[in-house]
Structure 1
């Protein structure tokens, strides 16, 4: 395969994925585990952070911009804008801490309805920390039932052992790619990027102020 022409056009689609859920459920760890194949102890996210992963799924080259949000209350005023334009949203809870699961219904799904402006956006419910199965307080069945109620995909995984971590992002992305409107957005983002890069090499037009 020859190298693709045009700056920055090394991918076919660009998607925005957002992770939400209580502080400490392992949102950042899931992202790091997915992106770098390593696991480290991370300090809580302050505000928002994002990472980029380039990958090929179903023969298409994708750029995933994965947004990580702070679970703590005091940063929550920041969050509404992060929902904007997300094609995929992952709701994360910790299978060993029941309150992180109940908060998905009480807090996060409500927030999602409030802020997500994308009707077609794909949602996935993820129960993290299955490596600590002996401390489990939320059953798989409960997780699956909640996911069904909210029309979400469902997976349990472990950022620590990397079990199901890649599947989580890949399944979500494959689902996004089945929705024409989301695919359209994803390719529009690529075009916009290419255009922006072209414009940076051109002098801005001088517009007259009087008609």
Structure 2
């Protein structure tokens, strides 16, 4: 049953970073409309969507601005503007690409550390393409070790498995809660509709997928 909260709320910015071809945009599309892409998604321009997430109790709605840098990792200066504003970063690698995992620490974590601006960015490590276990190059234990070393949340998932979105949503909710508890997030002023413990729908497709 929906309830209405009037007044100021929190707003967080989230980015996807990692090597090209690891599936960042495919995961982003799950947030956009829960659409699963069986073929690689090639993007040229950055994309942004906004979603609401409810944390608590007590219930509080947080607006999320989610950015897909869309291949702009090639232009490091372009990506840095996103890093400076990010409250949460998804660090994405492919379990079938050992280099993409090594680059998480060698490149992308350094980018976040050097360009995250004021405060610490909450980082979530994502090993994508878990549907390709036979092609695994990066051991699960190695990923877990990196996550533990830097106190990051970690999941393995497949962007072509819709059910895996729930894994991602679960760790994102935990991260959002931590950021808010630490006093992070900008303010927004609007009327927010809270739909129990699920993201508030923004369009018909999102609403339909939330009911699944």
The answer to whether residue 46 in structure 2 is matched with residue 19 in structure 1 is no
Aligned-partner Cα distance in 1 for 2:170–2:10: 14
More strand per residue: 2
- Structure number, greater radius of gyration: 1
Alignment-derived partner of residue 55 in structure 1: 53
Aligned-partner Cα distance in 2 for 1:179–1:72: 26
Equivalences for residues 62-77 of structure 1 within 5 A: 62-71=62-71, 74-77=74-77
Alignment-derived partner of residue 210 in structure 2: none
TM-score w.r.t. length of structure 2: 0.77
Aligned-partner Cα distance in 2 for 1:17–1:164: 19
The answer to whether the 8 Å contact 2:26/2:41 transfers is no
Unaligned runs of 5+ in 2: 192-212
Alignment-derived partner of residue 208 in structure 2: none
The answer to whether the 8 Å contact 2:23/2:41 transfers is no
Aligned-partner Cα distance in 2 for 1:118–1:163: 35
Unaligned runs of 5+ in 1: 195-211
TM-score w.r.t. length of structure 1: 0.77
Aligned residues: 187
After superposition, what is the alpha-carbon deviation per residue over 1:91-132, rounded to whole angstroms, capped at 9, x for unaligned?
Answer: 000001111111112211111111112433211100001011
Higher relative contact order structure (alpha carbons within 8 Å, sequence separation ≥ 6)? 2
Give the C-alpha shift of residue 34 in structure 1. Answer: 3.0
Residues 129 and 118 (structure 1), Cα distance of their counterparts in 2 relative to 1, 3 Å cut: farther
RMSD: 2.5
